[in-house]
Amino acid sequence: MGTSIGAATDWLVVNFTSAVAAVDSAAVVGDGMPSLSASSMVVVGRTLPTDVQGVLGTQQPMVLGLGKNEEDYSIPCFAIADRAGTAQKPSRDAAIVLFDACAHVVAGDRELGGALLEGRYAWIDNVRISQTQGAAKDGGALCSTLIQFDVHCRNHYLA
């Protein structure tokens, strides 16, 4: 079979896309960094818009000689929402809606559509929220909320 990293990432992109569209039809979901920007966005496979760090994890033999490996890794993701004005609440609320949609997707299928085998599972981990205020391109105020999170996966596979 081999590693589940590709299948798990693909499943997250597809299922986050439909879940996010249901709560914010203008939001964009990207595999890596999307080529277009939006005021609301979820990105799978990156920790920040400016960072290229991807999946982190380990792979090790379960029992020597059986050819079975255990992998334990995290797929970095983030949800970000930008809103005009000086109030942080609208951007925070929008980012939380995006994050919640993604969290419900993972909770609804812990095997990520069969990407994780032998009763192995995924969960949301390492949630971090940061809020910033700055200037918009038009000179007005802009508030941004970034929610970084990992989809942690544990899997067994034959080498």
- The pTM assigned to this predicted structure is 0.88
**Residue 55 confidence (pLDDT):** 66
Beta strand 68-84 pairing with 40-44? antiparallel
2 three-class SS: coil
- CA distances (Å), 25 to each of 16, 40, 157, in order? 12, 10, 37
The per-residue pLDDT for range 29-46, each reduced to its tens digit, is 998 876 667 889 999 987
67 three-class SS: coil
Q: Which residue has the tokens 């609208």?
A: 90
Contacts of 66 (CB under 8 A, 6+ apart): none
The percentage of the chain sitting over the pLDDT mark of 90, rounded to a whole number, equals 62
Residue, of 93 and 134, whose pLDDT is higher: 93
